[in-house]
Homo-oligomer: A and B are copies of this chain.
Amino acid sequence: MVSVKAVLEGDRRELARLLTLVENDDPKGRAALNELYPHTGKAHLVGITGAPGTGKSSFTNQLARVYRNPAGGAAPQRVAIVAVDPSSPFTGGALLGDRVRMKDHSGDLGVFIRSMASRGAVGGIARATAAVTQVLDAAGYEAILVETVGAGQSEVEIARLAHTTIVVEAPGMGDDIQAIKAGILEIADILVVNKADLPGAEKTELVLRASLQMGAGTRRPAVPGGEVWTPTVLKVQSLNPVGIIEAYDLIQDHRGYLQRTGEWQRRDRERLDSELEDLLKAELFRRWVDVKSESNWQAALDALYARERSPYQTVEILLKQSSDHS
> Which chain A residues have a beta carbon within 8 Å of chain B's beta carbons?
30, 33-34, 37-41, 51-57, 85-91, 95-97, 118-119, 125, 130, 148-156, 170, 173-180, 182-186, 211, 214-215, 218, 268-269, 272-273, 275-277, 279-285, 287-288, 301, 304-305, 307-315, 318-319
Contacts and interface: CB of A to CB of B under 8 A. Distances in A.
B85 A279 contact: no
Interface SS of A by simple majority: helix
Given A37-B309, A284-B284, A284-B285, A91 B182 contact: yes
A74 to B, nearest CB: 27
Contacts of A273: 301
Which interface residue of A149, A153, A177, A314 has the most chain B CB atoms within 10 A? A153
Contact of A277 (B87, B97, B118, B285): B285
Contacts of A53: 51, 53, 173-177
A153 B118 contact: yes
Contacts of A150: 51, 150-153, 155, 180
B52 A151 contact: yes
